[in-house]
Amino acid sequence: LDSTGRLLLGVDDALSRGGNYGSGPWAFIPAPPAGNPAQLHTITQALIDPGNEFSFFVPAANGLAYAQDLGQTWSLYDAGLRGGRYNTLMMASTGTLLAADPDGGRVLRSTDGGATWTAAPLALDGEARVLTALSEAADGRLFGLTAEGGLVKSDSDGQDWIHLDPDANPLF
């Protein structure tokens, strides 16, 4: 959902957008043309660029696809990403982009709009866990939820992550 109430909806590898908070009208967003490296796969999340609400990131077959002009121009962002399908995405209030590694064990972060990515390891008892959700608290702390129900936190804009033990500190 962007700031004007347009809703992006992904089904399989197709995207549509609806105005007026999804009540319509709806329009198809063109996928990358054949031969474009930004080929889409099952779309589970779209991350609208807050600097340009006509542009957004969606999962691609080998990285993240970036659409400009509501899908008229597509680019593949994969520098620092090791293939895979990045389904858990968020943009922090600082502008840092975060993508959970689909193989687990780390969060990828970009401070240059997605052009390059660096890995931040997750401290999860030595096991590579996959994050299924990322969120930001009002004070800027970042949180991630693992597929197993664990919780991780970053106080450093996603550079470092620690495992939160609910038994040791139930209020975090």
Least confident of 79-83, 109-113, 150-154: 79-83
Residue 124 and residue 152 in contact, taking contact as beta carbons nearer than 8 Å: yes
For residue range 4-25, what is the model confidence (pLDDT) as tens digits?
566 777 776 677 777 666 566 7
Q: Please tell me which residue, 133 or 40, carries the higher pLDDT value.
A: 133
One-letter amino acid at 81 equals L
- DSSP annotation string for 93-151: TTS-EEEE-TTSSEEEEESSTTSS-EEEE--STT----EEEEEE-TTS-EEEEETTS-E
Task: Provide mean pLDDT across the span 139-156.
Answer: 88
At 138, list the tokens: 């009002």
Name the pTM for this structure. Answer: 0.79
